């Protein structure tokens, strides 16, 4: 069941989103060669809790960390560790912030030092996939239109779209209906309505899209060892368009 949010509920989610944006902006100065992803996890948890929020992922179905930190071929749900980031790594940090029971979710990818041309292109294309799909969002648009926009742009650039993970509704629960596929055919799927709040979070691989799972039961990585990248926003459908709650700006 899709839960339509009131204007007041969206405003409360915006408060959580504003804190999440501040965290991602602060991480721009923290992500660098020699830093461990476990140090980034601790930085994020302190940053959020010092400002009255809570890292919602911590403890969710037993997940032990405040962030997902996925490096290079890790697609999503990477465990923070004592492994030091090195020059050329591609890092995605995904997190959910809770402020007074209302949630916001956003993933952002970070270049560690000097990255390869392939990694730069992958980051650019993934971000463009996200924003091309967001540009379509308004009442009456079908979810298939969103997935189609992502898939066609990614594949036109020689990349692939991960099929196993999707965007999702969000509010006072981390995962609500609808599921938002990042591939598909236009004109299919449910129609968007004012008051829907959901994430779009394409995971784009430099190689093929099939995945494999680590023994921890959480971390997914590319089966062929290729790089993966992700960008994610939480957004709300308005009467005539969309509000991107987790927009970072420059």
Annotated binding site: 77, 94, 105, 168, 175, 201, 232
What is the rounded distance in angstroms from the CA atom of residue 228 to the CA atom of residue 208? 10
Give binding residues for substrate as ranges: 77, 175
User: Angle formed by the axes of helices 7-27 and 37-50, to 10°?
Assistant: 140
Q: Which two tokens stand for residue 53?
A: 């929020």
Which single residue is written with the structure tokens 């940053």? 47
The residue length of the chain stands at 250
Q: Which two tokens stand for residue 154?
A: 């990614």
Structural contact between residues 127 and 231, judged by C-beta atoms closer than 8 angstroms: yes
Structural contact between residues 111 and 182, judged by C-beta atoms closer than 8 angstroms: no
DSSP code for 87: T
Give binding residues for a divalent metal cation as ranges: 94, 105, 168, 201, 232
DSSP string, 122-189: HHHHHHHHHHHHHTT-STT-BHHHHHHHHHHHHHHTT-EE-SS--EEE-SSSSSEEEEE-SS--TT-S
**3-state secondary structure at position 194:** coil
Task: List all residues 6 or more positions away from 197 whose beta carbon is below 8 Å from its beta carbon.
Answer: 5, 10, 13, 169, 170, 171, 234, 235, 236, 237, 245
What is the rounded distance in angstroms from the CA atom of residue 164 to the CA atom of residue 219? 12
């Amino acid at each position: 069941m899709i839960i339509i949010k009131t204007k007041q509920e969206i405003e409360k989610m915006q408060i959580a989103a504003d804190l999440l944006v501040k965290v991602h902006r602060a991480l721009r100065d923290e992500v660098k060669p020699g830093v461990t992803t476990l140090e980034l996890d601790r930085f994020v948890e302190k940053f959020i809790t010092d400002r009255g929020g809570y890292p919602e992922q911590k403890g969710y179905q037993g997940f032990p960390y405040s962030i997902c930190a996925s490096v290079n071929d890790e697609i999503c749900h990477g465990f923070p560790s004592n492994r030091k980031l090195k020059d050329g790594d591609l890092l995605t940090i995904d997190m959910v912030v809770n402020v007074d029971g209302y949630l916001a979710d956003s993933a952002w990818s970070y270049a560690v030092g000097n990255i390869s041309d392939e990694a730069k292109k992958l980051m650019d294309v993934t971000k463009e996939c996200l924003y091309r799909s967001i540009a379509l969002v308004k009442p009456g648009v079908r979810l298939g239109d969103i997935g189609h926009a992502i898939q066609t742009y990614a594949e036109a650039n020689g990349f692939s779209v991960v099929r196993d993970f999707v965007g999702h509704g969000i509010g006072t629960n981390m995962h609500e209906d609808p599921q938002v596929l990042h591939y598909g055919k236009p004109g299919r799927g449910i129609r968007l309505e004012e008051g829907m709040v959901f994430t779009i979070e394409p995971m784009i691989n430099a190689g093929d899209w099939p995945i494999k799972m680590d023994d921890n039961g959480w971390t997914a990585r590319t089966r062929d060892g290729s790089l993966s990248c992700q960008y994610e926003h939480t957004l709300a459908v308005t009467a005539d368009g969309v509000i991107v709650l987790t927009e970072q700006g420059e």
